[in-house]
Amino acid sequence: MSTFHYIDNNPLDLAKIHEIISTNAKLALSETAIQKIEKCRFYLNEKMKLISKPIYGINTGFGALYNVKIDGRNLQKLQENLVMSHACGTGEEVNSEVVKLMLLFKIQSLSYGHSGVQLATINRLIDFYNHDIFPIVYSQGSLGASGDLSPLAHLSLPLIGLGEVMYHGQKIAGKQLMEMFSWEGINLQSKEGLALLNGTQFMSAIGIHCLLKSHKLSYLADLIGTISLEGFDGRIEPFNELIHFARPHHGQIKTAERISHFLEDSKLICQEKQHVQDPYSFRCMPQVHGATKDTIRFVTKTFLTEINSVTDNPNIFVDEDEIISGGNFHGQPLALGLDFLAIAISELGNISERRTYQLVSGHRHLPPFLIANPGLNSGFMIPQYTAASIVSQNKQYATPASVDSIESSNGQEDHVSMGANAATKCKKVVDNLQTILAIELFTASQALSFGSGKTSPFLASIVRSFREEVSIVEEDRILHYDIVSATKFIDSLEIDNKELFG
């Protein structure tokens, strides 16, 4: 039985989004939201009867055509033309998981009663969401300035019976969708096309997708890094709370606490060591992982503000009797946040690969490349190569998009955020980190098998579960399959929301 989430103008947070997605909750508008939507639309309809002056996007052209007034008889055609003409996306199709978030955030943004849309328009978007109807959206085409014009145009095309959607794994035309559900296309009224296309829901959806995954991968970096520490016969002292309270960055303290918790009752960490210090990739996990945690917190705050905001243009304020053209669609806050997140996440991969490198280098008690008979067997030589290659690619993807801008719309849109490019790059960095950590777990669990002491009960339970999917490497085999299995394993791990978002 499906649960319902009511769009009631209360803010969404990551835990709530995770719950909505993971439980496949259906959406419905609250009475409060319905009243705000209808009140705003009624106000705009009445305003249109009384005014003759041009109001941007309502009875004018768009962008550089802002000063071309449109006759009232053509206002519906104007909105439909806007949606069709802006559907110029190219590149890869956006996966349905992100498109579902786009629908959720567009519905949320339009529900505040400042956008002038019809109730029927929002209800049709809710129908798409609840029936798992995902418009085909493309990854390229947005400058992240007047919002995500091209991606949101593709999201909106099926409202008027155009474009394509993914439904039950099949790609079907918008017209066919209307016939299947006996729906009529929405007759877009004044302002509606602009309300649908102006907005940051493409950047926001990818950003929230990345943040949900980043919170989990941050936890897993701590967990897998601790297994590596045990496999490398590392020391406990760098995680003593005294040094972290002396430099009290939130993420640093949290990382040290978490690693110490993972190591509780470990015999291996307590045994006498021959070495006085560990390399930075082990010793400085609180400082490096912690800095990424603090970045994730900052970017999360930025994105939660965004998805709980009105981001189209112009904005309608009924009680104040104002229709104001501004720039809430500009993606600069998101572009900077996405670039910052990509840099921070790439660093988790950077330090992870260094631990993998140390583990295969024949130091401490470990054989070269973690194989019993090196020479005849190459062992874990090449998984480290693979991790190094992906880490290097992440460094390239971490080059900021937000420092770039390009003039568009005949000079009217003379500064753009490039937030959409920042978003698609950031997603690649996050996806790559999952593979890098999977390689570290594969390597660390192998290193741990050469140890003489017992690790903590918690870490031992993780390694036992991992061994059900990936066995110890006794001699050379095709390790690609093991890396794929390791990646699936960490993806399948379920972590308590308090650990993820607390």
Tokens of 51: 């005014």
pLDDT attached to residue 1 = 56
Q: Are strands 4-7 and 26-29 parallel, antiparallel or unpaired?
A: parallel
Q: Which one of 6, 43, 56, 219 is the catalytic residue?
A: 56
Name the phi and psi angles at 251, rounded to 5.
-65, -35
Query: Can you list the alpha helix ranges (DSSP code H) found in 326-478?
Result: 332-360, 381-397, 419-448, 457-467
Query: Could you tell me if 318 and 40 are in contact, meaning their C-beta atoms sit under 8 angstroms apart?
Result: yes
Q: How far is CA 317 from the centre of its chain?
A: 31
Query: Could you tell me if 146 and 201 are in contact, meaning their C-beta atoms sit under 8 angstroms apart?
Result: no
Q: Phi-psi bin for 230: left (phi > 0), alpha (psi -120 to 50), beta? A: alpha
Q: Phi-psi bin for 291: left (phi > 0), alpha (psi -120 to 50), beta? A: alpha
Supply the DSSP symbol for 118: -
Query: Could you tell me if 198 and 86 are in contact, meaning their C-beta atoms sit under 8 angstroms apart?
Result: no
Highest mean pLDDT among 63-67, 285-289, 371-375: 285-289
Q: Mean pLDDT, to the nearest integer, of 102-124?
A: 97
Task: Return the sign of the alpha-carbon dihedral for residues 262, 453, 348, 18.
Answer: negative
Band of the pLDDT at 57, cuts 50, 70, 90? Answer: low
Q: Encode pLDDT of 395-431 as tens digits.
A: 999 999 999 988 888 777 889 999 999 999 999 999 9
CA dihedral 30, 32, 36, 41 (to 10 degrees): 50
Q: Encode pLDDT of 212-252 as tens digits.
A: 999 999 999 999 999 999 999 999 999 999 999 999 999 99
Asked if the model's pLDDT at residue 66 lies above 60, the reply is no
Domains by residue range for the chain, with CATH? 4-199 (1.10.275.10), 206-501 (1.20.200.10)
CA–CA distance, 377 with 481 (Å, rounded to integer): 17
Among candidate residues 104, 216, 248, 310, the one with its CA nearest the CA of residue 498: 216
Query: Could you tell me if 223 and 262 are in contact, meaning their C-beta atoms sit under 8 angstroms apart?
Result: yes
* 56 is an active site residue: yes
Q: Are strands 170-173 and 164-167 parallel, antiparallel or unpaired?
A: antiparallel
